[in-house]
Amino acid sequence: MSSAARTFTDRHGIRIHFDVYEVQQPKGIVQLVHGVGEHAGRYVHVADALNAAGYTVYADDHRGHGRTGMEQHGGDVTKLGHLGSGGLRAAIAAVHQFTELIRDENAGVPIVLLGHSWGSLMAQIILNSSAVDYAAAILTGTGYRMPGSVNSGDLNRRHRNLGTTGMEWLSRDVDVQQAFLDDPLTTSVPIAKLFGLVDGVRLYGRPARDLPDIPLLIQVGSDDSVGGEKSALRLVDAYRRRSGLTDVTLIVYPEARHEIFNETNRVDVLADTTAWLDAHLG
């Protein structure tokens, strides 16, 4: 495995920072799309597991986030999470532009879109128009993008009696909760405040009808306050009935919370992810 930090410039002139975790003769490329208020650096262990299974990984810091956000906002940490000019639409376009870069650098190698949380919502939107660009997709910490099926309020409300960090909703692992708070490139400001009403509403929508029939894996914790099992089941049904996907797999992890790759059973979660990839790409 080798890793490198690089950049590209989006169509609004924002420089996007990204990392490449490369293996020789990869079975495929996994494009990681992180969640709101975080950054690609929180997924190094995920990249390590995917590399060990034979997959190259590309992971960017989205507009307003991580290294991209720090440069974009002149080092002002209080502005982390704010997307800047073009808002959500520009952020989504930059993620798809990243796909184009990956494809150009790896001609003929299948690309898998892996989105977590907000990243999974952006991935759903991208799949609606550009599913043909991907050999498969994985959505984690995700939900059915309709009012009443995803929680846009206080995500820690039902977990606040379980600890003192205020980030109990992320994971049962207290060290993960504290690491998020201690990370200088994260923010816990709610998505509604970061994005505003208009872009918040733009996150809603359903899977498009009659999509290209790519395989899809959905992984969620049963105790995920963003969506959880009920929301994930609605999403599965929509992809099967509306989109016509014939290979949709849902894995629900009992008692796991939002960040399944950072949960106490993360080893099993990553094993499930790589096994599914091998079954569909290997």
HSE-CB of 38 using CA atoms within 13 angstroms: 23
Structure-token match 């049962």, residue found: 172
Mean pLDDT within 24-37: 97
177-209: pLDDT as tens digits? 999 999 999 999 999 899 999 999 999 999 999
- Reduced to 3 states (helix: H, G, I; strand: E, B; else coil), residue 266 is helix
Classify residue 162 by burial, with Cβ atoms within 10 Å: 0-12, 13-18, 19+: middle
Q: Are 139 and 198 in contact (CB under 8 A)?
A: no
- pLDDT value for 282: 67
Phi, psi of 34 (to 5 degrees): -75, 175
Q: Are 65 and 46 in contact (CB under 8 A)?
A: no
Count each helix (H run) and each strand (E run) in the chain, helices first: 8, 8
Full DSSP string of 196-253: HHHHHHHT---PPSS-----EEEEEETT-SSSHHHHHHHHHHHHHHTS--S-EEEEEE
Q: What average pLDDT does the structure give for the chain?
A: 96
- As a whole-number percent, the residues of the chain with pLDDT over 70 amount to 99
Domains and CATH numbers, the chain: 2-154+188-280 (3.40.50.1820)
**CA 131 to CA 246: how far, in whole Å?**
14
62-99: pLDDT as tens digits? 999 999 999 999 999 999 999 999 999 999 999 999 99
- Reduced to 3 states (helix: H, G, I; strand: E, B; else coil), residue 107 is coil
- pLDDT value for 3: 78
Find the angle CA(143)-CA(185)-CA(96) to the nearest 5 degrees: 50
- pLDDT value for 2: 62
Mean pLDDT within 136-140: 98
